[in-house]
Amino acid sequence: MKMSGFKQLKTLGIAAAVAAAALAVPMHAQAIEHRTYTYIYDYWEEVQDCPNVYDVYSVYTSSDLGLDKRMNSPSGLYVKDDHVYICDTGNNRIVVLEKTETGLVPSDIIEKVKGAPGENSLSGPTDIAISDEGNIFIADKGNNRIIKTDSNLNYIMEFGLPTDSAISSDTTFFPNKIVIDTAERVYCIADGINKGLIKYEADGTFSGFVGATKAAYDWLDYLWKRFATQEQLDRMQNDVPTEYDNIYMDYEGFIYACTGRFEPEDLDAGTVDAVRRLNLLGNDILVRNSDIPVYGDLYWGSAGGYSGPSYFSDVTAFENDIFVCLDRNRGRLFGYDDQGRMVFAFGGNGNMDGYFRRPVAIDHIGYDLIVLDTLDCSITYFVLSDFGKDIYGAIDKFDEGDYDESGALWEKVLSTDGNYDLAYIGIGRSLLRQERYKEAMKYFEIKYDDDNYSKAFKEYRKEWIQTHLFATVLVLLILILIPLTLDKIRDMKIEIATSDVFRFPDPEDNMTREEIREYHKKQRQEAREREKAKKAARKRGY
């Protein structure tokens, strides 16, 4: 479990730990199970209730849509423009819906392709993707192929088992999830292949694996395995890279990949990522600038029969770089912004609208969210609430460079929900762009955003020194001059104390001029020696 409190208090940490152990200090209080539908985690990793960012517009079941037969364990969801494609896996077909004024209505059903060399009808399709040219790609899992057709479903080509030394040729190819890029290259997740995403060129040749997760390497593990017997080794889990569960190609051509197959400890230790954003080279470029990790729920305690971390089954990303992950464990949706900071979390398991039984896929039209539930055989259509519109508006306005408007919208968000952390940072960022550094610093400090605070402070400091240049130089001069003058004053004091004027010999001694000079010489010599001795004593200290 997470322990918050003093986040960066390291000094005398051992001492504190000893004291804490001895006095049996209660650790961080148990997180209160959230009460509202939507929530966020604040800086201290506490659950903060939040107004709804998304409202349920409608839930569509098979009968609501007027389908001829009930959907049977649908597993894939894809959106192209205004069309929603549902892979009705159990019925071996793909249901096409269209978004109209009145909501989603069925527009087409894809059951078979034309002119394929093998089987024409689909068998357990799990995913579909459509290119800008209108070519349709279907992961035809039951027929062990990815099939490519034109917009009229005329067969063009198919993609089969990749020929690679790492895959034995008698492996059966089960393509599960596919995405395509603008050049019609195909990226595929296939069951049992954990080398990463299978990448095919547009001409169908296999060109390698992309974005394999690193197998976690641990020297302790290594040492342990050195001394383990064969039987122990067999029982041990192999260090295999985690398989991805789902992928989404965003508008920039980067692939969001999520996985729900990991050991909870690995997630806690940070050795696996629940969601990644892969570039062309397969490197993870997801920005994680928040202290709150990007893996859904922070508290994994058993509640309502569900325990363990969030297991993401799908991910989708908007054009404003907010990406939404779908947790199949607790039926929740987690939204994160381009910096990896949590925007919202909502949902749950249940039978009411806006709750799920086993959500498997998510996609979006504009800023609307569509979630497919495989057990309920339904799709839930979410639309932004007014609160959500303000948040998205503020983010969009900021990206457009309209910082005044962005700040105003964040203010509006803040007036609705004073616990919404991103609003403070958002206002701060818009103030920063308006070069109102002092005010920006105040907002960043409230929510402990040290990166942005430092940016604002750096500018503020520069400005301050420029306006107070004279004072700064003066202070520096004084700091240098004061010790020097002190030394001078001391010297002068010595000079005065030892000067001839105050040390005339007694006039009654009747000394000659020569004798007086001699006397003064002696006096000065003695004073010098006294000073020397004093200085030496000072140097010794004691």
What would the DSSP string read from start to end of 146-199? EEEE-TT-BEEEEE-S---TTS-TT----EEEEEE-TT--EEEEETT--SSEEE
DSSP type of residue 306: B
Please, how many CA atoms are within 13 Å of residue 108, restricted to the half-sphere of its CB? 11
Place of tokens 């105050």: 502
Identify residue 229 by its one-letter amino acid code: T
Q: Which is nearer to another protein, 7 or 530 (CB)?
A: 7
| Sign of the four-CA dihedral 507, 509, 513, 515 | negative
* Shortest Cβ 542–another protein spacing (Å): 7
**Cα-based distances in Å from 442 to 300, 341, 438:** 34, 20, 7
Q: Which is nearer to another protein, 9 or 166 (CB)?
A: 9
Please say which residue, 21 or 183, places its beta carbon nearer to another protein. 21
Pick between residue 405 and residue 459 the one whose CB is nearest to another protein: 459
Select 12 or 233, whichever has its Cβ closest to another protein.
Answer: 12
Q: Least distance to another protein from the beta carbon of 346, Å? A: 26
Q: How far is the CB of 296 from another protein (least distance, A)?
A: 23
Residue (85 or 444) nearer to another protein, CB:
444
C-alpha 456/C-alpha 476 separation (Å) is 25
Find the angle CA(531)-CA(537)-CA(541) to the nearest 5 degrees. 145
Question: To the nearest whole angstrom, how small is the minimum distance from the Cβ of residue 15 to another protein?
Answer: 4
Nearer to another protein, 47 or 315 (CB): 47
C-beta separation of 189 from 176 below 8 A: yes
Query: In angstroms, what is the minimal distance from the CB of 222 to another protein?
Result: 30
Do 155 and 122 form a contact (C-beta atoms < 8 A)?
no
Question: How far from each other are the two terminal CA atoms of the chain, in whole angstroms?
Answer: 56
Nearest distance from residue 318's CB to another protein, in Å? 30
Distances (CA, A) of 338 to 5, 168, 398: 27, 40, 12
Closest CB to another protein among residues 23, 220: 23
Distance separating alpha carbons of residues 154 and 150, to the nearest angstrom = 5
Nearer to another protein, 80 or 442 (CB): 442
Rg (CA), the chain: 36
- Eight-state DSSP code of residue 24: T
Residue 49 Cβ vs another protein, minimum distance, rounded to whole Å: 17
**Beta carbons of 137 and 148 less than 8 angstroms apart:** yes
Which residues sit opposite 383 in a β-bridge?
55
Instruction: Give 372's strand partners.
Output: 361, 379
Q: Let me know: does 197 contact 257? Beta carbons within 8 Å.
A: yes
| Residue number with CB closer to another protein (21 or 166) | 21
Based on DSSP, count helices (H) and strands (E) in the chain, helices before strands: 12, 25
State the residues that interact with another protein by CB under 8 A: 4-9, 11-12, 14-16, 18-25, 28-29, 43-44, 445, 448, 450-451, 453-455, 457-458, 461, 541-542
